[in-house]
């Protein structure tokens, strides 16, 4: 601003300097020549001086050296002129004519020689500049007129110069006014600019603060940038790793794609195969459905025929089994027990048993031994002492099938204590599969057949229970924990109001699905019996053990259900107390116990006979045993009685009792 202002001022100053200064001298131009000239000279000098002192800041009036020279020139000229006047050599003659003056003027001033007045007269305008620019030649003292002319000329020039200076002065004043106005304007502008400057400063301060803030922010951002750059570096590293991974994956993908294409090709061929196979399968499904129907029909027919066969064999059957002579036992006399072959010859399984009993009574007359009495018995099947457990089971496996077909089955082991009932039902010592009894074999057979029948759409489930009936009380042989060995408080109840199904309260009913589980249950029952044995002498042989397996079958596709119980009963020893024996106080309990056993066994016999004779009343309720088994006896139920016989002669009486009891049980078993 200042520079610009200076420039402007300079320009104005130059303009000012170039303008002519006008003064009031013009107005006084008509005054007396000599006095006026002097005054004008002083005035013009003053004006020149005053004009040089114009109060223009930065715009001092500058004048060129020639102007200054011009300003001072008149005074000098006057002084010279006056000097010249004083030094006028009056002795010299008047100046030559004008032409000579002009030549002298061209050659320079001459100290001597007159000058023609006509050459410098006021009427000759062409000579006027010569007065200002050239020093007039000295006039002789006597040439007053010429001197007057010179003075007039000089005055005229001064006047013109004064006029010029006046004009210049006026111009400068105007310029001054303009400059002042401009200065005012510039002052205003300066104020504005100062305000603006202050505003700008404030803004600058704000900007500075902002800048500082921004600087802090920049630092922060730089830190952030650093972090980001590190992150970027990490990311780039990661990116590189990923790129490598990607390339690996791409390679793998390409491989997979190739594999996939190969698989697709294989798949399309497989699809075609599948389509073909589906068609075949559909045809086979139809065929299978037809065959399933046929199979189902055949299965139903098989069941019907099987049942018919069992009924023809008799719903109540009696087998007789004679145990071998054990170590330490006396061998019976030959012919004591005879097993005549069947009607088809020696290969035919025996069904008859002949027991010869020698009579101890002697003939009263001759005192000779009486002849032995022979007792022949015929049963559905007779197993001599050498019969294996396997053979025995073969005969009853058909009944197990009946149980799966939905017919209740009851298998009893009857006989005196030690005749082999438990051996027949449960088997001999553990660990020998040959000695396994009916229960484990029947279970294995059941699970196996059930598995086979699952292929025909049948699903079977089994629930086992094992109780003993002692002195008309029921005890759970599968009791565990604190009830182990006790297992009392069991009652036979109907499963629900109006239900035919019977259940034993407080007894465990254990779902079983494999032989191992059944084996564990038999083991538990044995433990329970062993605990009881210590408390009550040989109670196991004085109680009935009833192993019950509830079989439930379902054919979901045809909405069929079947269910039946399979009962395997190890009866209490059938021996009787000798009525002739005198009983001590401790044996009275034994007598009551024996009476209870005999009562329940005879009730069983009566029930079986009533069923065999198809009597209207069957005395199930007369004993806990028949009451518990009533649903497994009679009707379409199958019953099998094993009569276990001791081979010893000393047990002949009990053997005969057993054989006679068994003979009553079925019409097919006959006593001769
Ligand atoms: P019960 O249960 O009728 O009292 P057991 O089954 O306990 O009689 O048999 C008595 C003994 O005779 C046992 O030692 C048993 O091993 C043995 N025994 C019974 N039957 C046979 C048999 N068929 N073969 C071998 N041993 C037998
Ligand atoms: Mg026994």
Q: Among 383, 418, 437, which is best to mutate for testing ligand 1, by the most ligand atoms less than 8 A from CB?
A: 418
Residues 328-335, mean pLDDT to the nearest whole number: 88
Residues 482-494, mean pLDDT to the nearest whole number: 73
**Is residue 125 pLDDT above 50, yes or no?**
no
DSSP 472-522: TEEEETT--GGGTTT---B-EEESSTT---EEETT---EEE-SHHHHHHHH
pLDDT one-digit tens code per residue, 80-112 = 444 444 444 444 444 444 443 444 344 444 444
Which two structure tokens, joined as six digits, stand for 59? 């715009």
* pLDDT at residue 5 in the model: 39
pLDDT one-digit tens code per residue, 166-204 = 888 888 888 888 888 888 888 888 888 888 888 888 888
Alpha-carbon distance 486 to 570, whole Å?
19
Which two structure tokens, joined as six digits, stand for 41? 């000279």
Is 422 annotated as ligand-binding?
yes
* Cα-based angle 568, 569, 570 (whole degrees, multiple of 5): 125
* pLDDT at residue 494 in the model: 87
Residues 343-347, mean pLDDT to the nearest whole number: 77
Residues 621-625, mean pLDDT to the nearest whole number: 93
Q: Is 420 in the pocket of ligand 1 (CB under 6 A)?
A: yes
* Position with higher pLDDT, 530 vs 198: 198
Q: Among 415, 420, 643, which is best to mutate for testing ligand 1, by the most ligand atoms less than 8 A from CB?
A: 420
Alpha-carbon distance 593 to 596, whole Å?
5
Query: Quick one: angle between helices 389-404 and 144-313, nearest 10?
Result: 120
Q: Is 417 in the pocket of ligand 1 (CB under 6 A)?
A: yes
* pLDDT at residue 448 in the model: 92
Alpha-carbon distance 601 to 573, whole Å?
9
Element (H, E) at 198: helix 144-313
**Is residue 148 pLDDT above 80, yes or no?**
yes
Output the CA torsion 161→165→166→172 (10° steps): 160
Is 419 annotated as ligand-binding?
yes
Question: Would you place residue 506 in the very low, low, confident or very high pLDDT band (cuts 50, 70, 90)?
Answer: confident
Q: Is 116 in the pocket of ligand 1 (CB under 6 A)?
A: no
* pLDDT at residue 87 in the model: 42
> Which atom, in ligand 1's list, is nearest to the CA of 387?
23
* pLDDT at residue 415 in the model: 93
Query: b/e for 107-117, b at 16 or more Cβ within 10 A?
Result: eeeeeebbbbb
* pLDDT at residue 122 in the model: 42
User: How would you classify the pairing of strands 352-357 and 638-645?
Assistant: unpaired
Question: Would you place residue 288 in the very low, low, confident or very high pLDDT band (cuts 50, 70, 90)?
Answer: confident
**Is residue 76 pLDDT above 80, yes or no?**
no
**Is residue 21 pLDDT above 50, yes or no?**
no
Per DSSP, the three-state class of 278 is: helix
Residues 136-141, mean pLDDT to the nearest whole number: 74
CA 540 to ligand 2 centroid distance, Å: 6
Q: Averaging pLDDT over each range in 194-203, 287-296, 304-313, 565-574, which range is the top one?
A: 565-574
* Position with higher pLDDT, 667 vs 383: 383
Per DSSP, the three-state class of 458 is: strand
CB-based contact 398:338 (threshold 8 Å): no
* pLDDT at residue 75 in the model: 43
Q: Is 423 in the pocket of ligand 1 (CB under 6 A)?
A: yes
CA 592 to ligand 2 centroid distance, Å: 20
Is 536 annotated as ligand-binding?
no
Output the CA torsion 30→34→37→42 (10° steps): -130
Residues 433-446, mean pLDDT to the nearest whole number: 91
CA 550 to ligand 1 centroid distance, Å: 28
**Is residue 588 pLDDT above 80, yes or no?**
no
Share of the chain above pLDDT 70, in %: 72
* Cα-based angle 208, 212, 214 (whole degrees, multiple of 5): 110
**Is residue 510 pLDDT above 90, yes or no?**
yes
Alpha-carbon distance 226 to 496, whole Å?
86
Q: Which ligand is nearest to the CA of 323?
A: 1
Query: Quick one: angle between helices 438-454 and 389-404, nearest 10?
Result: 40
**Is residue 444 pLDDT above 60, yes or no?**
yes
CB-based contact 59:179 (threshold 8 Å): yes
CB-based contact 155:166 (threshold 8 Å): no
Of the listed ranges 349-363, 602-616, 653-667, the one predicted with least confidence: 349-363
**What ranges in 339-479 are assigned the alpha helix state H?**
389-404, 421-425, 438-454
CA 145 to ligand 1 centroid distance, Å: 200
List the shell of residues around ion ligand 2, using CB closer than 5 Å. 421-422
Question: Would you place residue 553 in the very low, low, confident or very high pLDDT band (cuts 50, 70, 90)?
Answer: very high
Is 416 annotated as ligand-binding?
yes
Alpha-carbon distance 601 to 572, whole Å?
8
Residue having the nearest C-alpha atom to atom 23 of ligand 1 = 323
Q: Is 428 in the pocket of ligand 1 (CB under 6 A)?
A: yes
What is the number of other CB atoms lying within 10 angstroms of the CB of residue 571?
25
The model's pTM: 0.59
pLDDT one-digit tens code per residue, 564-574 = 999 999 999 88
CA 221 to ligand 2 centroid distance, Å: 99
Which two structure tokens, joined as six digits, stand for 561? 């259900």
Question: Would you place residue 368 in the very low, low, confident or very high pLDDT band (cuts 50, 70, 90)?
Answer: low
CA 575 to ligand 2 centroid distance, Å: 12
* Position with higher pLDDT, 288 vs 327: 327
Q: Averaging pLDDT over each range in 75-79, 233-237, 294-298, which range is the top one?
A: 233-237
**Is residue 282 pLDDT above 60, yes or no?**
yes
Q: Is 644 in the pocket of ligand 1 (CB under 6 A)?
A: yes
Is 418 annotated as ligand-binding?
yes
**Is residue 462 pLDDT above 80, yes or no?**
yes
CA 648 to ligand 1 centroid distance, Å: 13
Which two structure tokens, joined as six digits, stand for 117? 């007045």
């Amino acid at each position: 601003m200042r520079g610009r202002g200076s420039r402007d001022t300079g320009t104005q100053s130059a303009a000012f300097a170039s303008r002519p200064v006008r003064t009031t001298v013009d107005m006084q131009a008509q005054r007396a020549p000599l006095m006026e000239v002097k005054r004008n000279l002083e005035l013009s000098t003053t004006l020149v001086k005053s004009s040089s002192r114009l109060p223009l800041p930065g715009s001092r009036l500058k004048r060129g050296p020639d102007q200054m020279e011009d300003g001072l020139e008149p005074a000098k000229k006057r002084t010279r002129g006056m000097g010249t006047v004083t030094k006028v050599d009056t002795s010299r003659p008047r100046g030559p004519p004008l032409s000579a003056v002009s030549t002298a003027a061209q050659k320079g001033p001459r100290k001597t020689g007159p000058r023609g007045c006509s050459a410098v007269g006021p009427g000759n305008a062409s000579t006027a500049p010569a007065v200002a620019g050239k020093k007039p030649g000295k006039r002789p003292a006597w040439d007053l007129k010429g001197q007057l002319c010179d003075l007039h000329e000089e005055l005229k020039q001064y006047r013109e110069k004064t006029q010029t200076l006046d004009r210049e002065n006026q111009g400068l004043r105007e310029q001054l006014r303009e400059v002042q106005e401009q200065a005012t304007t510039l002052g205003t502008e300066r104020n504005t600019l100062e305000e603006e400057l202050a505003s700008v400063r404030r803004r600058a301060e704000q900007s500075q603060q902002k800048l500082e803030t921004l600087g802090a922010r920049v630092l922060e951002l730089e830190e952030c940038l650093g972090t980001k750059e590190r992150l970027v570096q990490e990311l780039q590293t990661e990116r590189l790793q990923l790129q490598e991974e990607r390339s690996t994956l791409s390679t793998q993908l390409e491989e997979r794609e190739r594999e996939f294409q190969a698989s697709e090709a294989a798949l399309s061929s497989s699809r075609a195969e599948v389509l073909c196979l589906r068609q075949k399968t559909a045809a086979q499904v139809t065929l299978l459905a037809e065959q399933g129907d046929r199979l189902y029909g055949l299965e139903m027919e098989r069941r019907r025929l099987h049942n018919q066969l069992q009924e023809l064999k008799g719903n109540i059957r009696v087998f007789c089994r004679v145990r071998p002579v054990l170590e330490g036992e006396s061998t019976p006399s030959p012919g004591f027990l005879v097993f005549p072959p069947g009607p088809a010859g020696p290969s035919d399984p025996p069904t008859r048993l002949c027991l010869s009993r020698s009579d101890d009574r002697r003939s009263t007359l001759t005192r000779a031994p009486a002849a032995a009495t022979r007792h022949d018995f015929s049963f559905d099947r007779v197993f001599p002492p050498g019969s294996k457990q396997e053979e025995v089971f073969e005969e009853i496996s058909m009944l197990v099938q009946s149980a799966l077909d939905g017919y209740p089955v009851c298998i009893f082991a009857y006989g005196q204590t030690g005749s082999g009932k438990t051996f027949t039902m449960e088997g001999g010592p553990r660990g020998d599969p040959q000695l396994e009894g009916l229960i484990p074999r029947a279970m294995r057979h059941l699970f196996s057949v059930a598995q086979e029948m699952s292929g025909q759409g049948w699903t079977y489930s089994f629930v086992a229970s094992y109780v003993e009936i002692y002195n008309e009380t029921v005890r759970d042989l599968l009791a565990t924990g604190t009830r182990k060995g006790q297992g009392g408080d069991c009652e036979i109840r109907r499963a629900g109001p109006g239900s035919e199904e019977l259940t034993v309260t407080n007894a465990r009913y254990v779902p079983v699905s494999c032989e191992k589980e059944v084996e564990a249950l038999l083991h538990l029952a044995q433990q329970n019996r062993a605990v009881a044995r210590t408390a009550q002498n040989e109670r196991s042989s004085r109680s009935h053990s009833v192993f019950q397996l509830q079989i439930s079958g379902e054919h979901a596709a045809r909405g069929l259900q079947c269910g039946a119980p399979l009962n395997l009963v190890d009866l209490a020893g059938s021996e009787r107390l000798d009525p002739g024996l005198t009983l001590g106080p401790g044996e009275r309990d034994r007598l009551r116990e024996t009476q209870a056993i005999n009562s329940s066994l005879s009730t069983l016999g009566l029930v079986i006979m009533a069923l065999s004779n198809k009597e209207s009343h069957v005395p199930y309720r007369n004993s806990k045993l028949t009451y518990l088994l009533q649903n497994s006896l009679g009707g379409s139920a199958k019953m099998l009685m094993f009569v276990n016989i001791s081979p010893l002669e000393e047990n002949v009486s009990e053997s005969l009792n057993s054989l006679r009891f068994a003979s009553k049980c079925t019409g097919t078993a006959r006593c001769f």
